[in-house]
Chain A
Amino acid sequence: MKKIENFFTSAITGSLAHIIKRDDIVWWKAWGIRLIAIVLALIVCGIVTVSLTDLNPLEMYATMIDGAVGTSRLVWNLFQNTAILLCVSLAVTPAFKMKFWNIGAEGQVLAGGLATASCMIFLGEKLPTPLLILVMLISSILAGALWGLVPAYFKTRFNSNETLFTLMMNYVIIQIVAFFTLEWSMPKGSGTPRTLEFGQLPTLFGQKYLINILIVALLTALVYIYLKYSKQGYEISVVGESEKTARYIGINVKKVILRTMAISGALCGIAGFLLVAGTDHSLKSDTAGGRGFTAIMVSWLAKFNPIFMIFTSLLIVFLQKGASKISEVYRLNSSFSDIITGIIIFFIIGSEFFINYRIKFNKKEANV
């Protein structure tokens, strides 16, 4: 940090301003900065909209809100999407807290989804539904954990680069899933994914997504407690902050890495299970839909706090839903909604800089 500071200081000294790291910031100031960032983002989006299309930006924002929460069906949809994204975000958090750069959540979700789908296909008619669902859940957890453990094992054994390894594991599972999608498609070979009849998660109180939401709510609480109050969670923090300290106090670093990645992968597996059994009732190679990467942003924005993640994941899903509605209503191509989402996320992430640093303007002095 000091280096950055020096760099900026020396780069612009004597002229305009320099950058200073903040010691601390009161919470309302931090949220004020974030709010300003969102307002600025909306203004920039408005300018972009007007210059690229003939739309009235205010109308556009109304459409956006309408697209995200316009009907009760949309609201449920929003919550269910948030739940899945939150689930993946919870999954990557222990790994990231440990500074193990797991960008393979996408693949770990698919591994869980594949395990779930194969249970639904091969055991569907043989087991009673409650038992089937239990088997699906367990196998998705195991599959996700396995997909997370492989890179962790190589990291601890050969000190391989976990970023590249987890990324490559994504491609492996995407191809495997693509193969089975074709294999299982109905009619066979057509490429249309088969609808999985058996083992769908039950509808609670007339809401088919409620069970997903409840499961993720439970997981959120568990992960929060695990990270903050359990001994294992404490070990994760210590390993993440300093491996040297961890060794110094006698933590078995390799064991912690393996265990944490198994947990991270297992939670991804559950997300895959919820996607296949709870919402999609089918499996495709894009079932995870990029959530494995979006989740990283959700987790970082929330500073690895599972409770904050509820809000960051909701915000991101809200933006995605709203923006896609704009493209749909105004017959713009989908890139336009990506531009809007991109601008807003850029501002939100950018605001973190102003929360961590303060810009000090040099007072002009007669002699300088």
Chain B
Amino acid sequence: MEKNIALELKNITKTFGSVVANKNISLQVRKGEILSILGENGSGKTTLMNMVSGIYFPDSGQIFADGKEIVIASPKDAFNHKIGMIHQHFKLVDVFSAAENIVLGLADEKKFDMPAYVEKIKEITEQYGFELDPHKKIYEMSVSEKQTVEIIKVLFRGADILILDEPTAVLTPQETVKLFKVLRNMRDAGKAIIIITHKLHEVLSLSDNVAVLRKGEYVGTVKTAETNESELTEMMVGKKVSLNIERSEPTNCEDRLIVENIKCVNRDGIKLLDNVSFEARSGEILGIAGIAGSGQRELLEAIAGLQHLDGGSVFYNNPETGEKENLRDKTPLEIRQMGVRLAFVPEDRLGMGLVGNMDIIDNMMLRSYKKGKSMFLQRKSPKTLAEKIIESLEVVTPSATTPVRRLSGGNVQKILVGREIASSPTVLMAAYPVRGLDINSSYTIYNLLNEQKQKGAAVIFVGEDLDVLIELCDRIMVIGSGRITGIVDGRNTTKEEIGILMTKSAEDKGDEQ
């Protein structure tokens, strides 16, 4: 039995400054096993695996491969010990073909023989059931194909231990199913596979064992067959959490925002938004689902006055005056001056919504600093607001004068959402508001969105987790390659239905060519 252990970590510790990222972690993974490493964001999963793959070096502790102690000081060392990691962000050369990327940097001291390499790549794809054309260029590939290239790159180098960091984050449900099939084939062929994830249902459907980390510490390993969602959550969070989102019936619905045939073309002539039309109603949450980069960002920015449109119109139905006003080609400032209370929680929190180097008070001021005729700043009301948000949303911060970049992801998001809803918005747009947040903070955000919905705001929620979208939203609009491929009722739809809609437009386009 002991012989079967492919990789073993003993008492690994790693600190960054005063932050302990990993504390005394011990783990093992066997040949022919899929091990999930489960933990919330910031629990140290990626740091731990980065030490195995040679990106970081542990402060203390030992690593064993095949029963022998090894030192991994660089990614090259990791490869020599047959360990390969597939990172969340792909590292591929866009203008090269799949095969060229796979053999790039290979140092086997043999003659460079492309046909032979392609042959070997084909062998690998057939063996494990991948779908890949070795001659296809990276820039022509979907995210899932790129991921396949990354995985084959690692296998090509003879890796027996594969580490995948959040592999499903960018995939549609259908692509996820395919990936899981391939991973199972690899397991059956005797590879040891480690998956870093924070999605419970994936853990349960794929892995043999689950190792749970919490705040840099190892909580324990359990057999997947002998556990369930609530037990794993409890291990992850450290206490019982109710995973239900309360969804109230929409009330007083009227069309608040009417988007008609908007078009947006980028410099290369690619249609980012193609004839998008929909209505966002007051008192309901409209979810937007789609593969990352399908036009969600452009859509929200177009409504917020940050994206130039090449056609169409964005009407706002003012509840106070009853007038219909076109927001197209207005700047954010003009939109606010028209009396439109539009709140926007952008995807890029510290790069757009907030200024990382400024303190909480100055960040509160971003929305309100222009008020009043004086040429000097008024810091009193932003200070009151900051203190109110810190208290009511339980933001963990040393003080209101702490630079925002020092706060954890969840606290940063609370500050941003808190500021945006402080103006009692009539339209609230939030792009991936729970990305990178722990479970408790995520539920705080869901509750805030629900609260705004009940107060009569038209809430637009761009999400990536389909389970959450289905639980939270009243209607779900699916966007694919800049086109709306369908709007479904959140109360009676399925993940599969949404998944099909997500890929629909992309396939249509393929047919046209």
Residues of A that sit less than 8 Å from B by CB: 6, 9-10, 13-14, 18, 20-23, 229-232, 234, 237-238, 241-242, 244-245, 247-252, 358, 365, 367-368
Contact = CB atoms under 8 A, between A and B. Distances in A.
B52 to A, nearest CB: 14
B62 A367 contact: yes
Given A23-B18, A229-B376, A238-B366, A367 B69 contact: yes
A231 B375 contact: yes
A75 to B, nearest CB: 37
Interface in B343-397: 344, 346, 348, 351-358, 362, 365-367, 369-370, 374-377
B61 to A, nearest CB: 10
B444 interface: no
Contact of B17 (A22, A232, A368): A22
B377 A230 contact: yes
Given A14-B71, A242-B352, A244-B351, A249 B367 contact: yes
A245 to B, nearest CB: 5
Contacts of A230: 375-377
B57 interface: yes
Contact of A242 (B18, B56, B351, B377): B351
A252 B334 CA distance: 11
Contacts of B332: 247-250
A247 B362 CA distance: 16
Contacts of B351: 242, 244-245
Nearest to A358: B17
A347 to B, nearest CB: 25
Main secondary structure of the interface of A (DSSP, over half): mixed
A245 B354 contact: yes
A205 to B, nearest CB: 34
27 contacts: A10-B55, A14-B71, A18-B57, A20-B17, A21-B17, A229-B377, A230-B376, A230-B377, A231-B374, A231-B376, A232-B375, A234-B369, A237-B358, A237-B362, A238-B358, A241-B358, A242-B351, A244-B351, A245-B352, A248-B344, A248-B346, A249-B366, A250-B305, A251-B333, A252-B333, A367-B69, A368-B71
B356 A241 contact: yes
Contacts of B366: 238, 245, 249
A103 B376 CA distance: 29
A141 to B, nearest CB: 19
Most-contacted residue by chain B among A13, A249, A252 (CB, 10 A): A249
B306 interface: yes
A22 B406 CA distance: 12
A127 to B, nearest CB: 33
B377 A241 contact: no
Contacts of B69: 367
B74 interface: yes
A120 B305 CA distance: 51
A70 B74 CA distance: 58
A368 B60 CA distance: 9
Interface residues of B, number: 44
A234 B362 contact: yes
B111 to A, nearest CB: 30
Contacts of B304: 248
Given A250-B334, A250-B336, 10 more contacts: A6-B56, A13-B57, A230-B376, A231-B374, A241-B357, A241-B358, A242-B355, A248-B344, A250-B335, A367-B71
Contacts of A18: 57
A229 B369 CA distance: 11
Nearest to B56: A9
B65 interface: no
Interface string B45-59: 000000000111100
Contacts of B370: 231
Contacts of B377: 229-231, 234
B306 A14 contact: no
Contacts of B374: 231
B17 A23 contact: yes
A368 B69 CA distance: 10
Contacts of B439: none
A245 B353 CA distance: 6
Contacts of B358: 237-238, 241
A44 to B, nearest CB: 30
Contacts of A242: 351-352, 355
A365 B63 CA distance: 14
B369 A248 contact: no
A234 B363 CA distance: 11
A9 B376 CA distance: 46
Contacts of A365: 60
Given A20-B16, A231-B369, A248-B306, A241 B355 contact: yes
Contacts of A20: 16-17
A71 B227 CA distance: 85
Contacts of A13: 57, 73-74
A141 B313 CA distance: 46
B71 A250 contact: no
B114 to A, nearest CB: 31
Contacts of A231: 369-370, 374-377
Contacts of A247: 306, 332
A283 B18 CA distance: 57
